[in-house]
Chain A
Amino acid sequence: SAVISQKPSRDICQRGTSLTIQCQVDSQVTMMFWYRQQPGQSLTLIATANQGSEATYESGFVIDKFPISRPNLTFSTLTVSNMSPEDSSIYLCSVPITDTQYFGPGTRLTVL
């Protein structure tokens, strides 16, 4: 398994600003995922982040809005840029260990 931490756990931000979310894993992993979970909804994959290469974004998500960094095998950041109230969601990172994905506790973002 993997132990994953995220910072911040929650934040309230103003429209038009940006927030960077950090994800730290207790072991080295090649692949990390970033998900968005809108209130009362399921999980939607934003992008896959591999160390040493650019993140791969899913349909409907773009790098300008959700830039991702993956500087090493235990850490990644997701930035939510130029935020609007529609970005209010829980943002989760996860890592796959064999076929199982292990999730962080999430970052609850509220945009006013």
Chain B
Amino acid sequence: QQQVKQSPQSLIVQKGGISIINCAYENTAFDYFPWYQQFPGKGPALLIAIRPDVSEKKEGRFTISFNKSAKQFSLHIMDSQPGDSATYFCAAQGTYKYIFGTGTRLKVLA
């Protein structure tokens, strides 16, 4: 019940394309769902986050879609750029702890 399943494990997208990463959870007590971006040699940095009372949140080229009934949420990166090449982690928070997804390694081809 504490797992967050993330897919795909890796993703290759052409420059200008849309990158989509999906996550699914089981514990309905989770109440905060952040996405983190991690570049090699760096710590994860918050990209965007959503709460379950909202179905979509957009910040620039990044959008989270949230389906509460399906217990799924996804990250969409519009107009993907080579600089977006990184590892992306979804997470779910219950109480004060995060449960992280397994990560998606995104490569955007120039």
Q: Which residues of A contact B (CB under 8 A)?
A: 4, 31, 33, 41-45, 48, 92, 94, 96, 99-106, 108
Contacts and interface: CB of A to CB of B under 8 A. Distances in A.
A101 B95 CA distance: 13
Nearest to B34: A100
Interface of B: 32, 34, 36, 41-46, 49, 89, 93, 96-98, 100-103
Given A99-B49, A100-B46, A106-B42, A45 B97 contact: yes
What secondary structure prevails in chain B residues at the interface with A?
strand
A31 B45 CA distance: 18
Contact of A101 (B42, B98, B101, B103): B98
Given A99-B49, A100-B49, A106-B43, A42 B89 contact: yes
Nearest to A93: B43
Contacts of B34: 99-101
